[in-house]
Amino acid sequence: MLFFLLPLFGAIKSESYPQKLSDEEERMYLLRYANQKDEIARAKLIEHNLRLVAHIAKKYENTNEDKDDILSIGILGLMKAVDSYQVTANNKLATYAARCIENEILMHLRANKNKRNLVYLQSPVAMDKDGNEVELLDLMEDKSIDIMASYEKKAMHKDLDDALKTLNSREYEIIARRYGINRDSQTQKEIAKDMNISRSYVSRIEKRALLKLYFLLKK
């Protein structure tokens, strides 16, 4: 799971959901995001609908899928709902978002079901004389999987670097400090003290930046 989901994911895990927005507040944030692409308004709409993700995810607790994966996919569905919702629509955001969240989870479940029929290089195929599993990769002379893994890692780092460049200077500094990008990581309290701003302001900027990064990387 990408670390950019952690602030939202953590809120669901701890069941510390923000209060549901009033109709007037929701309308205000929807208009701000639709007309101005206000990222703070977008973040508010997402955060205040996390309870909906948790509620829908519970329907799939009896599947073979990891509960945390279902929650993260549900959050992605909520993000897509906020981004594609039309303020002129007759239905409420929650009604539209519920369909998007459920569709995203169902697509994930179907995709994983198809993957179970694939044979992976790491699949165990036998046992050696010491009782250790022998993987398919161990029986192949060509160990090119290491080259592939190296290539994928480099590509992932490039995508992350490109996404980080889209942040403004303050967003980048806070993300770099929080997650130890080319420096030691810091707590929100330490960042607030160093930058002479409030801890709550650090938290708001961090959440906004993480949402930007997650959306860009998921594309």
Secondary structure in 3-state letters for 183-216:
CCCCCHHHHHHHHCCCHHHHHHHHHHHHHHHHHH
pLDDT score for 143: 46
Predicted pLDDT at 7: 52
CATH no. for 166-218 = 1.10.10.10
In the chain, where are the structural domains located? 3-115, 166-218
pTM for the full predicted model: 0.51
pLDDT in tens, the chain (219 residues): 444 444 555 555 545 667 888 999 999 999 999 999 898 899 889 888 888 988 898 888 787 777 777 888 888 899 999 999 998 888 899 999 999 999 988 888 887 665 554 444 455 545 556 666 555 445 444 444 454 455 556 667 777 888 888 889 999 999 888 888 888 888 889 999 999 999 889 888 888 888 888 777 765
Task: Provide the pairing of β-strand 133-135 with 124-127.
Answer: antiparallel
Q: How high is the pLDDT of residue 214?
A: 78
CA distances from 33 to 30, 203, 209 (A): 5, 20, 16
Side chain identity at 104, as an amino acid letter? E
Please give the sequence-ordered ranges of beta strands (E in DSSP) within the chain, or none if there are none: 124-127, 133-135
Among 3.30.450.20, 3.30.70.141, 1.10.10.10, 1.20.120.1810, name the CATH number for the domain at 3-115: 1.20.120.1810
pLDDT at 145: 44
Predicted confidence at residue 121, as pLDDT, reads 47
Report the pLDDT value the prediction gives residue 185, as an integer from 0 to 100.
84
Classify 54 as helix, strand or coil: helix
Say if residues 97 and 81 touch (Cβ distance below 8 Å): yes
